[in-house]
Amino acid sequence: MPAGELAEFHGPHVAPPTPEHVKLTWHQPPRASRIRVIFHTCECRETTYELCATAGQSFVRRTDRTEQTVRETPWTLTAIARHVFEQILRGKAR
């Protein structure tokens, strides 16, 4: 299996939050909506983060398998949501 494919399957691990990290607002997800997952973090962790797109907007979805909760950041422009996702990966936002 090519290295790129393997990396895509597992996804990256999020860095631990830095002391000065931005605290994101997490909402209960709305009911039925068609969502496309663009990118996701590694599923070996209890909490996974997904960059999602729907109806021309994007957001980050957080799934906590221990607490069995799903939360989303506010829907926004894809460029902004990508930035938030990157910040989460680097431990600069949660």
- Say if strands 36-40 and 47-54 run parallel, antiparallel, or are unpaired: antiparallel
CA–CA distances in Å: residue 10 to residues 4, 13, 27, 39? 10, 9, 26, 11
In the complex, the smallest distance separating the C-beta of residue 27 from Zn ion, rounded to whole angstroms, is: 26
In the complex, the smallest distance separating the C-beta of residue 1 from Zn ion, rounded to whole angstroms, is: 16
Residue 13 or 27 having the CB closest to Zn ion = 13
Residue 47 or 78 having the CB closest to Zn ion = 47
Which residues here bind Zn ion, judged by CB under 5 A?
42, 44
CB 70 within 8 A of CB 33: no
Phi, psi of 60, deg, nearest 5: -110, 135
Residue 46 or 54 having the CB closest to Zn ion = 46
In the complex, the smallest distance separating the C-beta of residue 55 from Zn ion, rounded to whole angstroms, is: 31
